[in-house]
Amino acid sequence: MPIAVNKSMITKRIVFDGPGACRLRAAGVLFRDAGGCWHAHVPSLRVTGYGRSRKAAYDSLEVMAGVLLQTVWKEGKLEEAIRESRWMEEAGIWYSPMIRFQELQEIMACLRTGSVMRPFCLRLEVGTSVR
């Protein structure tokens, strides 16, 4: 099921060079913790970026997502990893699964601190043919 994106939702696009082409879409949340640190969290990838500003959090997320993708890509296990995590492919684009209960609990713990959460759509595109 594709991620529903409304007009107010931020879309963060990250493009990496790779030997083939792969497109991924995942839901994420941006929030600020009690200490003032911003976090850009993508539960389905188990990747989080953080920093003193929203931009720094997104920049950190880009680095962390890059490390993850390069690791599984080099091992030739990207498609295997996303299939095991129950991602679905539609028209050549991989969509993340619905959020898991444990991930929801983590998000709820942040909400209990009074943090405002902003959803975003992460678009990861690997390979030179996706530019």
Per-residue pLDDT of the chain (131 residues; tens, 9 = 90+): 344 444 455 788 877 776 667 788 888 889 888 888 999 988 888 889 999 999 999 999 999 988 888 787 777 777 777 777 778 888 888 888 777 777 777 777 777 777 778 888 888 887 754 44
pLDDT at 51: 96
Residue 16 placed within a domain: no
- Residue 38 resides in a domain: yes
Q: Tell me if 10 is assigned to some domain.
A: no
Q: Is residue 1 part of a domain?
A: no
Residue 18 covered by a domain: no
pLDDT, position 128: 52
Tell me, what CATH number does 60's domain have? Answer: 3.30.160
Task: Please count the structural domains in the chain.
Answer: 1
- What range defines the domain where residue 51 resides? 28-130
In a domain, 14, yes or no: no
CA torsion sign, 96 to 102 to 104 to 109? Answer: negative
Distance, in Å, from the CA atom of 26 to the CA atom of 1, rounded to the nearest integer, reads: 11
pLDDT of residue 53: 94
Whether residue 17 lies inside any domain: the answer is: no
Cβ neighbours of residue 62 closer than 8 Å, sequence gap 6 or more: 14, 49
- Indicate whether 80 belongs to any domain: yes
Q: How far apart are CA 109 and CA 105, in angstroms?
A: 6
Nearest-angstrom CA–CA distance, 2 and 65 = 20
